[in-house]
Amino acid sequence: MFDQNRNNRLPNRAGLGYKPQHYAEIMDNAAPVRWFEVHAENYMGQGGRPLAQLRALSERFPVSVHGVGLSIGGEGPLDPEHLARLKHLCDWLNPASFSEHLAWSSHDSAFLNDLLPLPYNAASLARVSAHIDEVQETLGRQMLLENPSSYLAFEASDMEETGFLAELAARTGCGLLLDVNNVFVSATNLGYSPQSYIDTFPLDKVGEIHLGGHDEDKDDAGRPLLIDSHGHEIADPVWALLDYTLERAGPLPLLVEWDNDVPEWPVLAAEAARAEAALTKVPA
Amino acid sequence: MSQKSFTKALLAPDLPAPDGLNDGHGAPAGKRFAVYRNNVTVSLIDALEAGFPVVAKLIGAENFRNIAREYLRTEPPASPLMMLYGKGFAAFLARFPPLAKYAYLPDIARLEYALRESYHAADHTPLAPEALGRIAPGALADVRLVLAPSLRLVVSPWPVHALWLYNKREGAPKPVAMAQSVLVARSGFDPEPHLLPQGADRFIAGLQAGKTLGDACESAPEIDLGAALGLLLGTQSISQVKHEELP
């Protein structure tokens, strides 16, 4: 059992998903961005520019390591080699935060490079709790677990996602990473209110908020089908949901994610400035 | 619904969405499952296209994406380290019948993969150039050279170096048919392919296998030793000189 927020040193300010093409601009003047997040798996090589840049970045800014490949929601055991690589990276970098997803991405020997869904029930809860325990014990630090974007539902689910996450946090002592774009995407796709999701989310466990852009499509029945693409500006209703969340949770570290069709630095800086502006409306 | 059947359906477009899933409104998952299938397929195709840009340029983006789709369904990544994905792509291209007339493509893929491996390889401290000069001429044949972890060799019956340059660098000369061997070396952070002189591939492979300088030369009798060592030193590819231990 790990204490809440023991290792969490990300500031309650705007952060950005790090993209190497902006390295020179960031080192020159990153304002208004105060911290950066990197995907763990991109820094598991043996050396070269990626690790050198990450080291230099970490000397100037708080860095969050965000894993996308541990498959915590997988039916099988965690990959011991991958867990060892994560430990090596966290020991080497000593990041301000480590987070992963409520999802699976590997089956047998195949890595599928996507965050895949799982049913919310007692069996999943037991398995995911054991995986989180193993991660926290191996890394020697608390982790944050992120809520997914959902496109479909499982007949085998008998718990709400918020209750499932609250129970995981209670059992393991992990913190939560609340992605408000994922909340908006899932709520639209599955037909519930994003505000009621926030109302039932264990906000006292949240150590970081994610914001990102989504794509709009339609399903077979002509209903809106939103896709978590991280490929453009954050949508207005997601900014509104952020305000709704911060009013209830208080200030938190806010991360802007933009991973595909990455724009020039000023566009990213403008999104980060908008996140900073949302924070200034919140009483400390 | 198990993750096994979910995985199988992700990688087989003809299979329906697995049982036990719905659209959240009581209807079958339908297109909603296709979102995951599309994410998996497109993200892996994109990763391959980013990793093999010259192969993609040589056969055209549309052909490349179709072939990459076949490949990922046969050989999905074996690890979450996407930087390693595509190690078997060259071998897949070599046994892909529609590409039989592009016999040089697999070696271009090998070169591109070697460049990527080199980029992520461990750093090292290069040997000072004068260190070799300090060795007594009589002892030179018995030393072993420790080479940079980022060094890679690509040996080909095709003009792979010329083909790569022609498709990457403006104004590079048009390739002509010949066998070429390439040394991928990284001084600093950016790997660069260097054309090797005759025999130097066998010489360097010998050094990599731990042979002494003398034995490595014997496996490549036609080699210009000065030129080969000059290339290794000039690309900061030697980490260490090890003298034969005295009996």
Give 3-state DSSP helix, strand, coil % of chain A, rounded to 5. Answer: 40, 20, 35
**How high is the mean pLDDT of chain B?**
94
Which residue from A46, A74, A219 is facing B121, i.e. has the nearest CB?
Answer: A46
Quick one: pLDDT at residue A284? 73
What is the average per-residue pLDDT within A155-163?
Answer: 97
pLDDT on residue B136: 86
Query: Do B92 and B74 form a contact (C-beta atoms < 8 A)?
Result: yes
Residue A161 has pLDDT above 50, yes or no: yes
The minimal CB distance from B80 to the residues A41, A118, A119 is found for A41
The answer, for B186 touching chain A at a CB cutoff of 8 Å, is yes
**pLDDT > 60? residue A174:** yes
Residues B28 and B81 both lie in one domain = yes
pLDDT category at B244 given cuts 50, 70, 90 is low
Over residues B165-215, the pLDDT tens digits come to: 999 999 999 999 999 999 999 999 999 999 999 899 999 999 999 999 999
Structural domain contains residue B129: yes
Tokens of B201: 């591939």
Residues B153 and B95 in one domain: no
Are the Cβ atoms of B4 and A227 closer than 8 angstroms?
Answer: no
B118 pLDDT higher than 80: yes
For the residues A156-183, what does the mean pLDDT come to? 98
Looking at the domain assignment, is residue B236 inside a domain? yes
Tell me which residue in A108, A154, A223 faces B21 most closely, judged by beta carbons. Answer: A154
Considering the domain architecture, whether residues B126 and B223 belong to the same structural domain is answered as: yes
Phi, psi (rounded to 5 degrees) for B83:
-60, -20
> Which of A14-28, A126-140, A255-269, B215-229 is least confident?
B215-229
Same domain for B242 and B133?
A: yes
The number of folded domains in chain B is 2
Residue B129, pLDDT score? 83
Domain boundary at B69, B102, B135, which? B102
Domain that residue B48 falls in: 1-102
Same domain for B89 and B24, yes or no, is: yes
Q: Other CB atoms closer than 10 Å to residue A59's CB: what's the count? A: 8
Helix (H, G, I), strand (E, B) or coil at A227: strand
Least confident of A264-278, B74-88, B136-150: B136-150
The predicted structure's pLDDT at residue B137: 83
Q: Two tokens at A277? A: 């502006």
CA distances from B83 to A72, B50, B51, B93 (A): 21, 10, 8, 19
Residue B62 in contact with residue A52, Cβ under 8 Å? Answer: no
Cβ distance A191 to B25 less than 8 Å, yes or no, reads yes
A110 bridge partner residues: A107
Q: What is the pLDDT of residue B138?
A: 86
The residue among A111, A182, A185, A188 with the most chain B CBs within 10 A of its CB, best to mutate, is A111
As a whole number, the mean pLDDT across chain A is: 96
Asked whether residue B112 is assigned to any structural domain, the reply reads no
Element (H, E) at A115: strand A110-116
pLDDT single digits (tens) A270-281: 999 999 999 999
Asked if A116 reaches chain B (Cβ–Cβ under 8 Å), the answer is: yes
Assess whether B163 and B98 both reside in one domain.
no
Taking only the tens place, the pLDDT of each residue in B2-60 is 999 999 999 999 999 999 999 999 899 989 999 999 999 999 999 999 999 999 999 99
Q: Does any domain span residue B185?
A: yes
Choose the final residue of a domain: B51, B69, B102: B102
Q: Does A119 touch chain B (CB under 8 A)?
A: yes
Which residue from B109, B112, B99 is spatially nearest to B193, judged by alpha carbons?
Answer: B112
Q: Is the pLDDT of residue B243 over 80?
A: yes
* Nearest-by-CA chain A residue for B21: A154
* Residue B185 shares a structural domain with residue B227: yes
How close is the nearest chain A Cα to the Cα of B136, in Å?
34
Please judge whether A107 and B31 are an interchain contact, meaning their C-beta atoms are less than 8 angstroms apart. no
Residues B236 and B138 in one domain: yes
Inform me whether the pLDDT recorded for A121 exceeds 90: yes
Q: Round to whole Å and give the CA distance between B212 and B143.
A: 5
Q: Is the ipTM value over 0.90, yes or no?
A: yes
Q: Is B125 on the interface with A (CB under 8 A)?
A: no
Q: Do A155 and B31 touch (CB under 8 A)?
A: no
Q: Does B107 reside within a domain?
A: no
| pLDDT above 90 coverage of chain B, percent | 88
Q: Is residue A2 over pLDDT 90?
A: no
The verdict on residue B108 lying in a domain is no
Together in a domain, B136 and B79: no
CB within 8 Å: A111 and B78 = yes
Examine the domain organization and report whether B126 and B243 are in the same domain: yes
In A, which residues are within 8 Å of B190 by CB distance? 49
Tell me the pLDDT band of A9, cut-offs 50, 70 and 90: confident
Q: Are B185 and B154 in contact (CB under 8 A)?
A: no
> At residue A6, does pLDDT exceed 50?
no
Q: What are phi and psi of A276, to 5 degrees?
A: -60, -40
Q: Which of B2, B44, B123 sits opposite A47 (nearest CB)?
A: B123
Query: How many CB atoms within 10 Å of residue B94?
Result: 15
Per-residue pLDDT of A223-278, as tens digits, reads 999 999 999 999 999 999 999 999 999 999 999 999 999 999 999 999 999 999 99
Q: Which two tokens stand for residue B134?
A: 């300090």
Q: Are residues B90 and B29 in the same domain?
A: yes
Decide if A60 contacts A35 (C-beta within 8 A): no
Residue B116 lies in a domain: no
- Specify whether the CB–CB gap between B178 and B159 falls below 8 A: yes
Structure-derived torsion over alpha carbons of residues B166, B168, B169, B171, reported in degrees to the nearest 10: 30
Under DSSP, the state recorded for A44 is: -
Of B70, B102, B134, which marks where a domain is finished? B102
Q: What structural domains and CATH numbers belong to chain A?
A: 14-280 (3.20.20.150)
Q: Is the pLDDT of residue A7 over 70?
A: no
Distance CA B55, CA B61 (A): 9
Nearest Cα neighbor of A124 from A171, A87, A194 is A171
Q: Are residues B134 and B95 in the same domain?
A: no
pLDDT single digits (tens) A32-60: 999 999 999 999 999 999 999 999 999 99
Q: How many CB atoms lie within 10 A of CB A94?
A: 13
pLDDT at A5: 44
Q: What is the DSSP letter of B19?
A: T
Judge whether B73 is closer than 8 Å to chain A, CB to CB: no
* DSSP H/E element including A218: strand A214-218
- Any idea how long chain B is? 247
B168 belongs to a structural domain: yes
